[in-house]
């Protein structure tokens, strides 16, 4: 009760200061804290701890590195709307180095990175976006005259935590597809130790946001699975919460793009949707704050499994997914059944001929079976007679 009273005390001074600093209404901020707590499945009262941490905790320094990627992860993060990135994230964390967002360039940018690392040694968070090439001693990617493989090791050495954001950093992503000429690898592979991974191409920005807020509040990351993914976001198959799941269960599938089933929102399983073998929350929270349907399947395209290693950028887009829980039976009816037509004289005659031949074959089979049975009975009788004579 005391925690709730503190949480809902909207006149406390720290909250007043936060409102001025972030230019964010206090009710909107408190609602955000409650939403983050619910999203991560935290117990009652956790929203109070989140609010207090964001209000009073020292902003952690963040070093954000870019390697083999398209910057889509950062672009997605910039489009967060509840609240906007500049009102919360850039004020909750101290983004001291980010090649896309920082005003400095060249030597000034590299100096800012080194100064931040020195001033926050052992306390800063390292975020890596993009795969890291390791072939030919990592010559295929250099930042500020340093190879990516060396730069990430240097920055990770004194980091309090490492986050790999996006599928490229999490497991190699698109750059690592066969034949992978640069030897594109994940952050965990290069560092030789587990890291927190936020896969997706791009990942939902709120998965990253919630992970950072959890670290800020509790001093540790949320529970992760064996691949380093936070379970609150990657603990269930996309298929389980898909808005088209009812059509799957009823056996209603789109067979071609633009057919009647596709236009009516039927399941996209037979068009190659990888939702049944991909763990993520895309179907639950959507993208771009434009509604839950604003994600590939909601827009009419199969999920390509971008957040799942061995699926996204590996399996053909329209290859049927491997079902990890329920396999649809083969006897499901087609979406559009062919209309019946009256039989022509020729087709009727052909059917009659086939039926006649089948009937004749059945008569012959019966006769042969009868003869065979009679022969077996005669043989048995002869055997019995021979036995009696010996006795």
C-alpha span between 26 and 223 (Å, rounded): 29
C-alpha span between 249 and 242 (Å, rounded): 11
pLDDT at residue 8, as a whole number? 45
pLDDT at residue 386, as a whole number? 60
132 forms beta bridges with: 185
C-alpha span between 189 and 169 (Å, rounded): 10
Same fold for the pair 57-204+225-233 and 236-338: no
pLDDT at residue 209, as a whole number? 83
pLDDT at residue 383, as a whole number? 65
CATH superfamily of 236-338: Cytochrome-c3 hydrogenase, C-terminal domain (4.10.480.10)
Domain ranges of the chain: 1-55, 57-204+225-233, 236-338
pLDDT at residue 56, as a whole number? 59
Q: Which helix (H) or strand (E) holds 116?
A: helix 106-119
- In sequence order, the 6+-apart residues with CB closer than 8 A to the CB of 368 are none
Q: Pick one of 3.40.190.100, 3.10.580.10, 3.40.50.12780, 3.40.50.700 as the CATH number of 57-204+225-233.
A: 3.40.50.700
pLDDT at residue 365, as a whole number? 45
* Chunked mean pLDDT (size 10), the chain, 391 residues: 45 62 67 70 68 66 91 83 61 79 84 90 92 94 91 94 94 93 95 93 88 83 92 91 90 92 93 94 79 81 93 90 71 51 50 53 50 59 61 51
> Tens digit of pLDDT for each residue in 215-254?
888 888 889 999 999 999 999 999 988 989 989 988 899 9
User: In degrees rounded to 5, what are phi and psi of residue 69?
Assistant: -165, 180
C-alpha span between 261 and 258 (Å, rounded): 8
């Amino acid at each position: 009760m005391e925690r709730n009273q503190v949480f809902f005390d909207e006149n406390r001074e720290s909250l007043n200061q936060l409102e001025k600093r972030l230019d964010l209404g206090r009710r909107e901020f408190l609602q955000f804290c409650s939403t983050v707590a619910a999203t991560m499945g935290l117990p009652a009262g956790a929203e109070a701890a989140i609010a207090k941490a964001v209000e009073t905790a020292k902003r952690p320094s963040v070093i954000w590195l870019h390697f083999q990627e398209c910057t889509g992860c950062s672009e997605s993060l910039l489009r967060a709307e509840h609240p906007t990135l500049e009102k919360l994230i850039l004020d909750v964390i101290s983004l001291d180095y980010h090649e896309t967002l920082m005003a400095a360039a060249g030597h000034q940018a590299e100096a800012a990175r080194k100064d931040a690392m020195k001033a926050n040694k052992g306390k800063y968070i390292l975020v890596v976006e993009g795969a890291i090439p390791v072939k030919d001693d990592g010559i295929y990617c250099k930042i500020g005259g340093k190879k990516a493989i060396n730069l990430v090791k240097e920055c990770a050495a004194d980091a309090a935590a490492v986050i790999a954001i996006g599928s490229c950093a999490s497991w190699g992503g698109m750059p690592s597809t066969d034949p992978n000429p640069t030897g594109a690898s994940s952050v965990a592979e290069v560092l030789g130790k587990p890291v927190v991974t936020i896969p997706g191409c791009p990942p939902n920005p709120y998965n990253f946001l919630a992970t950072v807020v959890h670290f800020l509040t509790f001093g540790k990351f949320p529970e992760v699975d064996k691949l380093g993914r936070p379970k609150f976001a990657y603990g269930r198959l996309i298929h389980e919460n898909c808005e088209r799941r009812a059509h799957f269960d009823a056996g209603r599938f789109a067979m071609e793009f633009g057919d009647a089933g596709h236009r009516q929102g039927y399941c996209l399983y037979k068009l190659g949707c990888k939702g049944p073998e991909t763990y993520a929350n895309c179907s639950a929270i959507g993208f771009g704050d434009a509604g839950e349907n604003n994600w590939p399947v909601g827009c009419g395209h199969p999920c390509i499994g971008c957040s799942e290693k061995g699926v996204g950028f590996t399996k053909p887009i329209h290859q049927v997914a491997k079902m990890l829980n329920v396999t649809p039976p083969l006897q499901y009816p087609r979406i559009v059944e062919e209309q019946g037509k009256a039989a022509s004289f020729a087709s009727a005659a052909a059917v009659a001929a086939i039926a006649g031949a089948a009937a004749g074959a059945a008569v012959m089979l019966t006769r042969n079976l009868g003869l065979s049975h009679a022969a077996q009975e005669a043989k048995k009788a002869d055997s019995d007679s021979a036995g009696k004579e010996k006795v």
